[in-house]
Amino acid sequence: MPKDFVPVARPHLGQEEVAAAGRAILSGWVTQGPEVARFEREFAAYVGSPHACAVSSGTTALHLALLAVGVRPGDEVITVSHSYIATANSIRYCGAKPVFVDIDPATFNIDPQKIEPAISDRTRAILCVHQMGMPCDLKAIVEIGRHRGLPVVEDAACAIGSEILWQGQWEKIGKPHGDVACFSFHPRKLLTTGDGGMLTTASAEIDAKFRLWRQHGMSVPDTVRHSSPEVVFESYPELGFNYRLTDIQAAIGREQLKRLPEAIAQRRQLANRYKQLLGDMPGLTLPDEPDWTRANWQSFCIRLPKDIDQRTVMQKMLDEGIATRRGIMCAHLEPAYRDPETWRCAQTTCKPSGRCPNLAESERAQREGVILPLFSEMTEEQQDRVVRALRAACSPRNQG
């Protein structure tokens, strides 16, 4: 790529992370161990959760969360199609079926009013997504879950550092509001360990399940076995998984956690500047931040005017050395979900194989959305280039 290329995202990593990784490597303990334990404690303290359990990815976090709240083969989980495919996949890993409901077009998040009509006698959980770091309406969703006796799992993959106004207090996503919150540390996220994930919960019982299952169902953790003055034989009372985070990753994550407040402040400033620079573009819809949320702005997604072709705009911008991404995907439009037996529409009489009339807002968000570059070290000059390129790409002469 040319030197002046503007990526859609860029992880903020420096010498502090290099030194942290080196510290873990030279310690002689590189798999799940003391650095992971410290990272878990520090992460829990940051979000305000009694428990935090590190795992190998945000997807494995979702899988364990759903298993822990009781999702089993033949069950249904209410969620959105409009999310990265890992959200729906994690439900299928449990042998269950995702039931897709539509989104609120203003926030790209699940529409709480669509949840209750989708509940059936097979529903075992609600899986909501804080899309692109924008908190969803947790208050309404949790109330539905409690009223109907359904656990609420939060896909908070993008939402580290985002906040919600909860009972008059600003609280971070990850402080237990539902039953479990799941985070991702992929390089596109504000906090990255290369890959990895975290689960937070108020339940000691659920946390214990995570810790057992992430390490093959082993009854005795490696740290306990290796530090024991006596020989310890472990057992495997349950089927588990190899979902561990390494100490090298955790050491990097601890340094990333220190960067978060500054990174979020920079992103919020850049998001506000985008709104100022793009506010006068005819037909362009800017992302909405409800007054009861403080987003970390993991991504900044605009909606193009209806007569503007998404691919054309993205290609014109790429030709100018600026990367973009399409609006968040819809799982039900992907080949892996073409079989109508793999998912259910919220309307029980609807069995589409492809486009779904009951997911019109989700499909429109994918079709009209464009994610613009946004990263902590982005300069105003780079942002000005993005805005100029977007305006040019949307002009009539480039849409012919």
Locate the domains of the chain by residue range: 15-258, 260-398
Residue 355: its pLDDT value, please? Answer: 85
Q: Contact at 8 Å (CB) between 293 and 134?
A: yes
Mean pLDDT within 73-85: 98
Of 148-157, 211-220, 268-277, the poorest mean pLDDT is in 211-220
Residue 234: its pLDDT value, please? Answer: 82
Which CATH entry fits the domain spanning 260-398: 3.90.1150.10, 3.40.50.1980, 3.30.1130.10, 3.40.50.300?
Answer: 3.90.1150.10
Geometric angle at alpha carbon 6, from 279 and 400, rounded to 5°: 60
Catalytic residue among 189, 306, 316, 351, which? 189
Would you call 124 helix, strand, or coil by DSSP?
strand
351 belongs to the catalytic site: no
Residue 372 β-bridge partners: 300
Residue 400: its pLDDT value, please? Answer: 55
| More confident: 243 or 345 | 243
Tell me the CA end-to-end span of the chain in Å, nearest whole number: 28
Residue 326: its pLDDT value, please? Answer: 95
What does pLDDT average to over the chain? 94
Q: Look at residue 256 and tell me whether its pLDDT is greater than 90.
A: yes
Predicted confidence band at 130 (pLDDT cuts at 50, 70, 90)? very high
For tokens 């992430």, the residue is: 214
Amino acid found at 314: M
Residue 186: its pLDDT value, please? Answer: 97
Both tokens of 111, joined, read 């529409």
Residue 1: its pLDDT value, please? Answer: 66
Q: Look at residue 399 and tell me whether its pLDDT is greater than 70.
A: no
Q: What is the pTM of this model?
A: 0.95
Mean pLDDT within 99-113: 97
- Between the alpha carbon of residue 241 and those of residues 179, 287, 394, the distances in Å are 21, 38, 48
Sign of CA dihedral 59, 61, 65, 68: positive
Which CATH entry fits the domain spanning 15-258: 3.30.360.10, 3.40.640.10, 3.40.50.11750, 3.65.10.10?
Answer: 3.40.640.10
Q: Look at residue 222 and tell me whether its pLDDT is greater than 80.
A: no
Share of the chain above pLDDT 70, in %: 98
* Distance from the Cα of residue 56 to its chain's centroid: 14
DSSP 8-state secondary structure symbol assigned to residue 219: S
